[in-house]
Amino acid sequence: MIDEVAEVRAAARSLAEEWLATGGRGRADNWARGLDPAFSKSLAAHGLIGLTWPREYGGRGLGNVARLAVTEELLRVGAPTGAHWVGDRQIGPSLIRHGTERQRAEFLPAIIAGEVVFALGMSEPGAGSDLAAVTTRATPVAGGFRVSGRKVWTSNAHRATHLYLLARTDTGERKHEGLSEFLIDMDSPGVQVSPIRDLAGEHHFNEVLLEGVVVPEDRLLGVRGRGWQQVVGQLAFERGGPERVLSTYPLLAELLSAGLSLSPAEQDRLGELIARLAALRHLAGGVAKALDGGEAPTREAAGLKHLGTAFETDLAEFVRDAYAATGRAPSPLVWDALLSSPGFGIRGGAAEVLLSLIARQEARA
């Protein structure tokens, strides 16, 4: 396994460095904001998407530790991975766990080849991190469901081919009951995408309006009404990855090579940040190993996401202040990180949601 991990890490590093050498510009948070289908297809051509998936669908049958190595190398340089990120990170594993054979055959090879782009239809205007409060409704009709509702903060929906959707199909005594997951073609009649621009005027967030969208029955993912139980397992993939720690790594690398004159107190602070980074990488490795062991490390993933949010925010602010103390103008990477930082505490779950989840898990232990 060690040789396989080293092999895929070296391949990913080579492609990342080639991308930089041919004019690529690394950015902070570029796994979420940057979408470059050509770069994703170059990774696909070298077998670096769907590493952990079964070989019969085009995967390589490797472990999540190998995937961790690849994603670390891509995050290290701030490469634009948005075209395949969601599909590779969580849609594929969800299909393997809960999908039908027809769904697996349709989507897994296409994700591996970099031919489909998934957006996540989870958050809503009245239900951000509280996914159990979603009100988008999927009403059963002949041959499938009719979906109506509104999703927000849907990254890259304007360039996606498909939408993963969490919607309410039934009512239950608790709000966690009656939710279901769907796979929707973005060109379906009734799907409307409107841009949400960030403070810099960039467009990667969107609002997605679904007005009477007809979804065939075979695009229901898993068991109707069991969406909450399914999505909880999926969130371990979303929350427990290195992107919760390394989104701003290009900023740290730039600082270390910038030759800034840091005061003793600033040097101590930088050392603390580097130590935190080492600990968080260790935690991410633990999540990957737990997934390889067949576990759903919900608590560990939530903890990594919570601590990673604090680290990335602290790092961006430290680098800003370090530049200011020397009188040098901050680089574009500093602005990238600062403009992205408000989203760190929202996507994947707000702190209150994560801490509540951790507390419940501890109480059951």
Q: Catalytic residue at 238?
A: yes
Give bridge partners of residue 60 from the DSSP assignment: none
**C-beta of residue 220 within 8 angstroms of C-beta of residue 280:** no
Quick one: tokens of 307? 């601590």
* Spatial separation of the C-alpha atoms in residues 352 and 107, rounded to whole Å: 34
* Spatial separation of the C-alpha atoms in residues 302 and 168, rounded to whole Å: 24
* Spatial separation of the C-alpha atoms in residues 230 and 249, rounded to whole Å: 31
Choosing from 72, 124, 181, 238, which is the catalytic residue? Answer: 238
SS (H, E, C) 116-185: CCEEEECCECCECCCHHHCCCEEEEECCEEEEEEEECCCCCHHHCCEEEEEEECCCCCCCCCCEEEEEEE
* Residue 71, CA atoms < 13 Å, CB-side half-sphere: 34
Strands 179-185 and 162-168: antiparallel
The CA radius of gyration of the chain, in Å to the nearest whole number, is: 20
* Spatial separation of the C-alpha atoms in residues 49 and 118, rounded to whole Å: 14
Active site members: 238
